[in-house]
Amino acid sequence: MSAKASLYQNVTRQFDRAADLMGLDGEVRKILARPMNEVTVNFPAKMDDGRIEMFTGYRVQHNNVLGPFKGGLRYHPMVDIDEVRALATWMTWKSAIANIPMGGAKGGIQIDPAKYSQGELERITRRFTFALGSNIGPDYDIPAPDVNTNAQTMAWILDTYWSMMSPLERQRSLHVVTGKPVDLGGSVGRDKATGQGVIYVIEQWARDRGFDLSQATYTVQGYGNVGSWTARLMKPHGARLVAAEDHTGAIANPAGIDPDALLAYARAHRGGIAGYPQAEAVDHKVFLSTPADIFVPAALENQLTAETTPWLNVRLVAEGANGPTDPDGDRILAERGIDLLPDILCNSGGVIVSYFEWLQNKRSEFWELDEVDAKLHRIITAGYGRVAEAVKEYKVDWRTAGYIVAMARLEKVYKQRGIFP
Ligand code: GLU
């Protein structure tokens, strides 16, 4: 998996293309072209051996015109302000396409979490929360899990945030983070939500094209939360996982890889899929060239580029990751007639169920899984429908259409509200 170009440049190119095509209002365009707030914090944390180490964390708040800032926190060595800015902007479009009352934000720490013990990660997370202070808040900016963060991370953030407030305010602030453990105010169905959303969107795509998923083959890049859930939720369709890749390597088996057995293997091998015995080890190029119907990138950004997109041998790219395809990749997909379900639509199941968790916390409710799934299905397929309409109306690719849907909604609200003063 190659090093990244400037992600924010990708966002700008995508944004300009859509804004030109739809004739976005010039003033609104100026506003949306940059994030509202960018917070950088440098903070200390105590290591197991008693030393103090300094860390750099970010929270970029792109837009909150449609609702509170919303988006995940990632822990990764590649996290920097440029990446977080891009990811925050995509969150604004994602929430707007889904038509949920949320804005866009993203944050993270530049860190390789594999190098730290669980105790160190807890102290780093708590000090990060403390450093962010009132830059986050239950009705202002609500973090969630992302790459290398999970329900446990959210539990530490909640506990630290609570310890900074008066006891009277604590229960009222349960919704300061989403993606919490279910016993601590999390929503059932949030863990699988991004993968579940990817599946609902793929199902809709298959229905529209009269494509039979029971005969389908697919490949998955990344076997963390999104990749493993997507792979496992494809299994009931009868579709066959023929290759997978993560940070430890790539594997292939044309006869099919069992997604559940692969997850069990990865869990037993520090999260990595390399060495899985019922498949053959392959290199990155062979992995991306694997013939299949559907490719689900569910790892990091800039994986499909001018160099790698020509290798693909699939009908559909369904983006579970954020930003896996750069603008050259988009162009080549279009030229080659490969369908694309873009990140800002395809992986929005996570933030949609985060919104459900936030609502349940505010109302002291507990929804059952069938209710969560049914509502997710309704919201994400409605978003799919809006993007499909824009594809037809503007005769554009699905990513540009997604931008147009999102920006049209933001434009309308800006015009209604006007600019203060
Ligand atoms: N990190 C996820 C995303 O990129 C989920 C964000 C959320 O639930 O707020 O969409």
Query: Is residue 146 within 8 Å of 76, Cβ to Cβ?
Result: no
Same fold, 3-176 and 193-346: yes
Q: How confident is the model at residue 1 (pLDDT cuts 50, 70, 90)?
A: very low
The whole-number average pLDDT for the span 281-299 is 98
Distance between Cα 148 and ligand 1 center (Å): 12
- In short, whether 323's Cβ falls inside 6 Å of ligand 1 is no
Q: Is the pLDDT of residue 4 over 60?
A: no
Q: What is the pLDDT of residue 128?
A: 98
Q: What is the pLDDT of residue 293?
A: 98
Distance between Cα 358 and ligand 1 center (Å): 13
CA angle 231, 183, 263 (to 5 degrees): 20
Q: How confident is the model at residue 259 (pLDDT cuts 50, 70, 90)?
A: very high
The third-level CATH classification (topology) of the domain covering 3-176 is Rossmann fold (3.40.50)
User: Across 280-403, where does the E strand assignment appear?
Assistant: 280-282, 294-297, 316-318, 339-341
Query: Is residue 156 within 8 Å of 144, Cβ to Cβ?
Result: no
The backbone torsions φ and ψ at residue 307, rounded to the nearest 5 degrees and listed phi first, read -75, -45
Q: Is the pLDDT of residue 116 over 80?
A: yes
Distance of alpha carbon 181 from alpha carbon 190, whole angstroms: 9
Q: How confident is the model at residue 173 (pLDDT cuts 50, 70, 90)?
A: very high
Distance of alpha carbon 333 from alpha carbon 237, whole angstroms: 26
Tell me which residue of 301, 308, 304, 232 sits closest to 263, measured CA to CA.
232
Query: Is residue 304 within 8 Å of 312, Cβ to Cβ?
Result: yes
Nearest CA to ligand 1 atom 7: 351
Q: Is the pLDDT of residue 52 over 80?
A: yes
Query: Which amino acid is it at 244?
Result: A
Query: Is residue 287 within 8 Å of 242, Cβ to Cβ?
Result: no
Half-sphere exposure of 312 (CA within 13 A, CB side): 34
Tell me which residue of 135, 115, 86 sits closest to 322, measured CA to CA.
86
Q: What is the pLDDT of residue 271?
A: 86
Q: What is the pLDDT of residue 369?
A: 98
Task: Encode pLDDT of 361-408 as tens digits.
Answer: 999 999 999 999 999 999 999 999 999 999 999 999 999 999 999 999
Ranges of each domain in the chain: 3-176, 193-346
392 catalytic residue (yes or no)? no
Rg (CA), the chain: 21
Q: What is the pLDDT of residue 404?
A: 98
Architecture of domain 193-346: 3-Layer(aba) Sandwich (3.40)
Query: Is residue 346 within 8 Å of 354, Cβ to Cβ?
Result: no
The catalytic position among 94, 106, 180, 192 is: 106
- Beginning with the edge strand found earlier in the chain, give each strand of the sheet holding 240-246 in spatial order: 280-282, 249-257, 240-246, 217-221, 294-297, 316-318, 339-341
Which tokens is 36 given?
Answer: 């509202």
Which tokens is 296 given?
Answer: 């689900």
- Longest CA–CA span in the chain (Å) reads 65
Distance of alpha carbon 222 from alpha carbon 228, whole angstroms: 8
Task: Encode pLDDT of 295-348 as tens digits.
Answer: 999 999 999 999 999 999 999 999 999 999 999 999 999 999 999 999 999 999
Distance of alpha carbon 114 from alpha carbon 250, whole angstroms: 20
Q: What is the pLDDT of residue 341?
A: 98
Q: Is the pLDDT of residue 3 over 70?
A: no
Q: What is the pLDDT of residue 15?
A: 97
Which ligand 1 atom sits nearest the alpha carbon of residue 179? Answer: 8
- In short, whether 146's Cβ falls inside 6 Å of ligand 1 is yes
**Average pLDDT of the chain to the nearest whole number:** 97
Per-residue CA distances from 372 to 139, 260, 362 (Å): 22, 23, 16
Distance between Cα 70 and ligand 1 center (Å): 8
Write down the pTM of the prediction. Answer: 0.98
Distance between Cα 1 and ligand 1 center (Å): 22
